[in-house]
């Protein structure tokens, strides 16, 4: 039986999202087979609370627009080992008006600078050759490749972001990466020596078509470099809040290698990197390409097998750990409410949407604050919680601030020591429950 939804507060009851009727929604479908190998031998291993679309922060004037909640269930393929969600939102709805930009995410510009430096040093693409980035967003990574003398070219379906990137000097095709886009690139630029795709390789329901398009544009000695959320880190680091509808896939090396081989490419190296709560950087080439296969690929797969990533029991333990923290957090916040204490949340990102829904605490939060100005003045997805600048915790003086952006708690707490000095409390729900006051900060 699907978990019941959390009840909304009286103040926001009229604005709550409704659980989607999957048979009637024009932009929702559910798969029945594995996205990588097409096997029907799949099992639901983690059933999260149904959630609104993670990035659907709205201006107040759109507060009464329909805001459906969609199932958010994680499936394990027992044939190839791939982990994924089967509930698919029309990508046009998800990405055509997408507002997230790479530059708005803490530390990503520095990450992409190092990324470009390392990839160019490792692969030595010809000077002046095309650096193609699939899902290029605002062109942050491509600007760093341009520093190395490469010619940047982006592909991104977000219309406004693509126009802005092009106007800023990063030519960007406002398209999905498919066979037609591959033909345009080949006709206009020729084969590509370097193609990258970062996190976007988890966003596409038709990954086979995207992989075929990438393989098509790749030069015989070219390389495809991708970063995706690392399932090993998702499990070991408890970063369950990276599970949302935009992220259809939660990748690991074994199923990825088999998938790429089915689409004319092969992994030749792999690295574990810290970005986005833990990511995997893969290096691929056309089958039979010139680069030797690094022993790291086999070592990586062996590490995944030892961690039990392809076993149901691993996810049962994972669910229990997450839900224990959920129960601890909810109990604490409900006690605060019984004591008539005010509660704010720190963070207004996509991951916060998942956390608020699954922890069932949206109705307990009076307002959110976030460092990203693009969120200020908006309402959160589903719960319609108002979002303000961080200064609001000094103006409104909430008794408790829950750090929903928990991966950044070590930065947030010291930066707001004044709030603690004024008698406030910070609560961090993950990866273990912590409370900070002026005495223990």
**pLDDT tens, 422-432?**
999 999 999 99
Residue 24 lies in a domain: yes
Residue 362 lies in a domain: yes
CB neighbours of residue 389 within 10 Å: 15
Q: Is the pLDDT of residue 224 over 90?
A: yes
Long-range contacts of 5-10 (CB under 8 A, 24+ apart): 5/49, 5/50, 5/69, 6/49, 6/357, 6/360, 6/361, 6/362, 6/363, 7/363, 8/362, 8/363, 8/383, 9/363, 9/364
Percent of the chain with pLDDT over 70: 90
Q: How confident is the model over 158-163, as a mean pLDDT?
A: 88
Same domain, 305 and 404: no
Q: Is the pLDDT of residue 139 over 90?
A: yes
Q: Tell me the CB-side half-sphere exposure of residue 417, using CA atoms within 13 A.
A: 7
Same domain, 160 and 243: yes
The model's pLDDT over 346-373, given as tens digits with 9 standing for 90+, comes to 999 999 999 999 999 999 999 999 999 9
Q: How confident is the model over 5-20, as a mean pLDDT?
A: 36
How many angstroms separate the CA atoms of 386 and 154, rounded?
Answer: 34
Residue 121 lies in a domain: yes
The model's pLDDT over 16-51, given as tens digits with 9 standing for 90+, comes to 334 444 445 667 889 999 999 999 999 999 999 999
The number of folded domains in the chain is: 2
**Whole-number pLDDT of residue 105:** 56
Same domain, 305 and 338: no
Region class of 283: left (phi > 0), else alpha (psi between -120 and 50), else beta: beta
Comparing 94-98, 239-243, 302-306, the range with the smallest average pLDDT is 94-98
Same domain, 117 and 190: yes
Q: Contact at 8 Å (CB) between 343 and 368?
A: no
Q: How confident is the model over 203-221, as a mean pLDDT?
A: 93
**Whole-number pLDDT of residue 51:** 95
Higher-confidence position of 242 and 105: 242
Q: Tell me the CB-side half-sphere exposure of residue 235, using CA atoms within 13 A.
A: 25
**Whole-number pLDDT of residue 2:** 32
Same domain, 135 and 256: yes
Same domain, 161 and 217: yes
**Whole-number pLDDT of residue 221:** 95
**Whole-number pLDDT of residue 107:** 67
Q: Is 411 helix (H, G, I), strand (E, B) or coil?
A: helix
At which of 310, 339, 356 does a domain end? 310
DSSP string, 90-119: -HHHHHTT----GGGSTTHHHHHHHHHHHH
Percent of the chain with pLDDT over 90: 78
How many angstroms separate the CA atoms of 403 and 361, rounded?
Answer: 13
In this structure, what CATH number is given to the domain that contains residue 195?
A: 3.40.50.150
Q: Which domain holds residue 29?
A: 1-37+47-76+329-441
Q: What is the mean pLDDT of the chain?
A: 89
The model's pLDDT over 226-246, given as tens digits with 9 standing for 90+, comes to 998 899 999 999 999 999 998
**Six-digit token string for 73:** 């269930």
Same domain, 357 and 233: no
Comparing 7-21, 129-143, 161-175, the range with the smallest average pLDDT is 7-21
Comparing 67-76, 136-145, 194-203, the range with the smallest average pLDDT is 194-203
**Whole-number pLDDT of residue 25:** 61
**Whole-number pLDDT of residue 276:** 62
How many angstroms separate the CA atoms of 137 and 334, rounded?
Answer: 40
Higher-confidence position of 366 and 9: 366
**Whole-number pLDDT of residue 24:** 56
**Whole-number pLDDT of residue 17:** 37
CB neighbours of residue 331 within 10 Å: 11
For residue 287, what is the enclosing H or E element?
none
Same domain, 192 and 238: yes
**Whole-number pLDDT of residue 84:** 95
**Whole-number pLDDT of residue 20:** 45
| N-term to C-term CA, the chain | 42
Residue 90 lies in a domain: no
**Whole-number pLDDT of residue 277:** 65
- Go through the chain and tell me how many residues it has: 441
Q: How confident is the model over 80-100, as a mean pLDDT?
A: 75
Residue 91 lies in a domain: no
The model's pLDDT over 60-84, given as tens digits with 9 standing for 90+, comes to 998 887 778 999 999 999 999 999 9
At which of 310, 344, 363 does a domain end? 310
**Whole-number pLDDT of residue 158:** 82
Region class of 86: left (phi > 0), else alpha (psi between -120 and 50), else beta: alpha
Same domain, 10 and 112: no
Same domain, 197 and 130: yes
Q: Is the pLDDT of residue 328 over 60?
A: yes
Q: How confident is the model over 148-175, as a mean pLDDT?
A: 94
Q: Is the pLDDT of residue 9 over 60?
A: no
**Six-digit token string for 232:** 């090993």
pLDDT band, residue 100 (cuts 50/70/90): very low
């Amino acid at each position: 039986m699907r978990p019941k939804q959390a009840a909304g507060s009286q103040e926001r009851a009229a604005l709550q999202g409704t659980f989607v009727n999957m048979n009637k929604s024009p932009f929702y479908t559910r798969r029945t087979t594995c996205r990588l190998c097409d096997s029907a031998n799949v099992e639901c291993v983690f059933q999260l609370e149904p959630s609104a679309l993670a990035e659907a922060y709205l201006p107040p004037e759109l507060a009464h627009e329909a805001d459906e909640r969609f199932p958010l269930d994680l499936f394990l393929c027992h044939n190839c080992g791939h982990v994924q969600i089967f509930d698919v939102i029309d990508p046009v709805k998800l990405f055509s008006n997408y507002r997230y930009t790479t530059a708005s995410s803490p530390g990503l510009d520095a990450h992409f600078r190092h990324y470009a430096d390392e990839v160019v040093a490792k692969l030595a693409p010809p000077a002046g050759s095309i650096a193609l980035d699939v899902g290029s967003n605002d062109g942050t990574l491509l600007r760093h490749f341009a520093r190395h003398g490469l010619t940047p070219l982006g592909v991104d379906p977000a219309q406004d972001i693509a126009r802005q990137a092009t106007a800023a000097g990063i030519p960007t095709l406002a398209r999905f990466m498919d066979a037609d886009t591959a033909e345009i690139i080949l006709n206009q630029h020729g084969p590509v020596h370097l193609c990258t795709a970062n996190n976007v390789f988890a966003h596409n329901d038709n990954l086979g078509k995207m992989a075929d398009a990438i393989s098509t544009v790749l030069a015989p000695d070219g390389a495809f470099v991708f970063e995706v959320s690392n399932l090993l880190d998702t499990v070991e680091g408890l970063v369950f809040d990276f599970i949302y509808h935009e992220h259809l896939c939660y990748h690991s090396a074994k199923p990825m290698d088999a998938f790429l081989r089915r689409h004319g490419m092969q992994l030749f190296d792999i690295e574990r990197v810290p970005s986005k709560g833990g990511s995997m950087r893969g290096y691929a080439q056309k089958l039979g390409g010139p680069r030797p296969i690094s022993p790291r690929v086999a070592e990586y797969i062996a590490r995944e097998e030892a961690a039990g990533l392809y076993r149901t029991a691993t996810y049962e333990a994972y669910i229990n750990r997450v839900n224990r923290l959920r129960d601890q957090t909810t109990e604490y916040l409900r006690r605060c409410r019984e004591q008539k204490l005010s509660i704010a949340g720190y963070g207004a990102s996509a991951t916060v949407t998942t956390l608020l829904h699954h922890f069932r605490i949206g109705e307990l939060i009076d307002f959110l604050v976030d460092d990203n100005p693009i969120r200020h003045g908006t309402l959160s997805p589903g719960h319609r919680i108002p979002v303000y600048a961080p200064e609001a915790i000094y103006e409104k003086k909430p008794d408790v601030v829950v750090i929903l952006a928990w991966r950044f708690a070590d930065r947030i707490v010291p930066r707001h020591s004044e709030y603690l000095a004024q008698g406030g409390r910070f609560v961090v729900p993950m990866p273990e429950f912590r409370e900070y006051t002026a005495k223990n900060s």
